[in-house]
């Protein structure tokens, strides 16, 4: 029979393995797409990561995004807000695979020449209304994915830092938002390049958008790896109170037995009830003894600043 401690260790190892796997898949995806496209189809580096959907590396592109999406959904955040954001991010990652980018922007780089010429006869393009709708949903899903994951990196990354010593805590407090800003900034830079500076043909020639997207994936993977290292420094699974509620168990034999009831002869007499106070005095006393309203929860920014100023030892 497996002991409770061993079972808990297995759960924790699975939890950290999931974190490492998510970061590894994201970091390896651009290199894997380039290698598969060059090996199976003999194509050059594509103008963006999403363009590989219309190549022979489509299965790898879709499979990696689904692995990341389902991993984010299965992963439990350190707060309700983070958990919801990760679930939404996981759904959006799957939507990026469900709704591919417009093929006209990719087939010209893959096949060469005028993209419209290949759209009329290419077997890679499914000319249906569903495909046309999917092409319009790709970029909103991608942008929303970056925004949601950037929100997690910037506003939810400090939820475990009260367990870290102050000197190390400040390093994490500075690193996590910086990585989040770099992650979101890469998507903004890619959008600006495509919208204002590069036509599809120029993006196909220079491949700058691909490298800007890679520059965003690196901070994402770095955040997951650093957060994993941080969580290994303290027993996060046991020390975050809202992640694991204490289990209510029955008392063991000989422990927690109810106190014996004294015989009736030894029960002290019940004192008489005090005379009821007048209604007005009773109302004033109830108002005086009423507990004060709980303070409003601190915002994420106030919580972040308090952690930065806090010099008390880690709990």
Higher-pLDDT residue of 51 and 262 is: 51
**Over the stretch 216-275, which tens digit does the pLDDT of each residue have?**
899 999 999 999 888 887 766 555 544 544 334 334 444 444 555 555 555 556 556 555
Report whether pLDDT(308) > 70.
no
> Which value, in Å, is the radius of gyration of the alpha carbons in the chain?
29
The whole-angstrom separation of Cα 278 and Cα 203 is 84
Q: For residue 127, how many C-alpha atoms fall within 13 Å in the half-sphere facing its CB?
A: 8
Higher pLDDT, 41 or 37: 37
Look at 3-7, 134-138, 180-184, 217-221 and tell me which has the smallest mean pLDDT.
3-7
Q: Is the pTM of this model over 0.75?
A: no
Q: Counting beta carbons within 10 angstroms of the beta carbon of residue 203, is it exposed (0 to 12), middle (13 to 18) or buried (19 or more)?
A: buried
The conformation of residue 309, written as its DSSP 8-state character, comes to: H
| Better-predicted residue by pLDDT, 41 or 120 | 41
- Determine the straight-line distance between the first and last CA of the chain, rounded to whole angstroms: 34
The pLDDT tens digits for 56-94 are: 888 999 999 999 999 999 988 888 899 999 999 999 999
pLDDT band of residue 296 (cuts 50, 70, 90) is very low
Q: What mean pLDDT comes out for the span 38-43?
A: 83
Coil vs helix vs strand at 314: coil
Q: What is the pLDDT of residue 294?
A: 43
Question: Among residues of the chain, what percentage have pLDDT more than 90?
Answer: 26
What Å distances lie between residue 183 and 86, 119, 179, 186, CA to CA? 15, 33, 6, 6
How confident is the prediction for the chain on average, in pLDDT?
74
Residue 36 has pLDDT above 70, yes or no: yes
Of 295 and 220, the structure prediction assigns the larger pLDDT to: 220
Q: Which residue has the tokens 């005095």?
A: 281
Helices (H), ranges, 193-299? 200-206, 208-232, 236-239, 279-289
Task: Match 């109302």 to its residue by tokens.
Answer: 283
Identify the pLDDT of residue 82: 92
CA gap 241, 174 in Å, rounded: 25
Tens-digit pLDDT profile for residues 155-210: 998 888 888 888 888 899 999 999 999 999 888 887 787 777 766 666 677 777 78
Grouping H, G, I as helix, E, B as strand and the rest as coil, residue 233 is coil
Mean pLDDT calculated for residue range 127-150: 78
C-alpha 235/C-alpha 161 separation (Å) is: 12
Q: What is the rounded CA–CA span in Å between residue 70 and residue 94? A: 8
pLDDT at residue number 78: 85
pLDDT at 250: 37
pLDDT of residue 136: 79
Question: Residue 60 contacts by C-beta under 8 Å, 6 or more apart in sequence?
Answer: 29, 32, 33, 36, 52
Around Cβ 127, how many Cβ atoms within 10 Å?
10
Find out whether 145 and 137 touch, Cβ atoms under 8 Å: no
């Amino acid at each position: 029979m497996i002991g409770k401690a061993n079972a808990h260790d297995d759960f924790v190892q699975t939890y950290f393995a999931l974190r490492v796997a998510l970061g590894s898949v994201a970091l390896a995806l651009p290199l894997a797409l380039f290698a598969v496209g060059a090996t199976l189809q003999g194509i050059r580096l594509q103008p963006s990561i999403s363009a590989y959907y219309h190549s022979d590396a489509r299965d790898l592109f879709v499979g990696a995004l689904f692995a990341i999406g389902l991993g984010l959904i299965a992963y439990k955040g350190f707060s309700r807000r983070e958990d919801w954001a990760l679930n939404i991010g996981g759904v959006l990652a799957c939507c990026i695979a469900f709704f591919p980018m417009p093929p006209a922007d990719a087939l010209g780089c893959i096949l060469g020449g005028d993209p419209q010429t290949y759209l009329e006869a290419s077997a890679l393009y499914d000319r249906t209304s569903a495909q046309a709708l999917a092409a319009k949903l790709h970029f909103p899903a991608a942008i929303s994915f970056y925004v949601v994951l950037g929100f997690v990196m910037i506003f939810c990354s400090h939820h475990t830092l009260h367990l870290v010593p102050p000197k190390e805590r400040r390093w994490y407090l500075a690193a996590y938002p910086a990585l989040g800003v770099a992650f979101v900034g890469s998507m903004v830079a890619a959008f600006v390049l495509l919208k204002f500076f590069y036509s599809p043909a120029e993006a196909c020639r220079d491949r700058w958008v691909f490298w800007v997207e890679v520059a965003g994936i690196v901070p994402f993977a770095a955040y997951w790896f650093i957060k994993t290292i941080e969580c290994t420094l303290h027993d996060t699974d046991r020390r975050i109170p809202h992640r694991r509620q204490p289990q209510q168990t029955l008392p063991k034999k000989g422990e927690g037995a109810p106190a014996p009831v004294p015989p009736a002869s030894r029960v002290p007499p019940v004192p008489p009830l005090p005379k009821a106070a007048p209604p007005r005095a009773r109302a004033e006393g109830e108002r005086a003894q009423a507990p004060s309203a709980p303070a409003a929860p601190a915002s994420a920014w106030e919580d972040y600043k308090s952690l930065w100023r806090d010099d008390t030892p880690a709990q």
